Amino acid sequence: MKISRFLDRRLALAMLASVTLTAPALAALPDFGPMRPFQIAFIRRGPTWTPQRTPQTDSLQVGHMKNIGRMADAGKLIAAGPFLDDGPLRGIYLFTADSAEAHRFASEDPAVKAGRLVLDLHPILTRADIGAEYAARKKKNPAYQDSMVNLTFGLLIANDKEPDPKTHAALMEKHLWHLKEAMDHGPLRLAGPLLSTGRIRGILIFSGDTTEARKFGAADPMVSGGWVQLELHPWMTADGVIPRK
């Protein structure tokens, strides 16, 4: 086993399970391939948000989109997209930058400055090849016009109760193998734990609508056992950003 891969798997398990396992136990876990840390920003309605469309909100939206382009052109933003269910959670950014730099770039958004949007920033560990297909396409043809794809974005949110460490470790092992099966043969395209404390423990991104994602959740031991809930949102992003199988 390569050292870097061992560290990735150990870190992912430690953050998700909050338990200590030995190297032999880790060797029995699934291999998700190369992973790396990013910064994810959850974009939420801010204190000045209103549903009405006005010249001011239109202007803020134009500035919002220009800032997204600026962050992408600077090589800091590798994934972004809105949620399509018109709830308080509006979308996400995924940054290559560290937390301070990511916050600085995102804070330049006119909609954030105006309080229409607020950002909740967290470190996350997930697939290293996010954005690779899109970047290669843009490099080959800088004039390429983005095409958008509809996916399902899932949040794993902790419930109030927590299993004891031994039960948690057993459930987490089953959960990770369930993730691996869904990535190899099902609709799951990406998964990763948040490397911070809080109720959101990880993210999942599925192909298609919520139907298959709900089936995944019903069969997941952490979800079906009541330890976490799977919150699903229809999501749109540029084709090639989220890795395929």
Per-residue pLDDT, 5: 37
Per-residue pLDDT, 232: 98
Per-residue pLDDT, 6: 35
Q: Is 48 helix (H, G, I), strand (E, B) or coil?
A: coil
Could you tell me which of 4, 8, 18 has the C-alpha nearest to residue 227? 18
The low-confidence residues of the chain, meaning pLDDT below 50, are 1-11, 13-24
Q: How far from chain centre, in Å, is Cα 6?
A: 22
Per-residue pLDDT, 160: 84
Pairwise CA distance, residues 121 & 100, whole Å: 10
Q: Is 16 helix (H, G, I), strand (E, B) or coil?
A: helix
Q: Containing H/E element for 125?
A: strand 117-127
CB 124 within 8 A of CB 193: yes
Tell me the sheet residues that pair with 148.
238
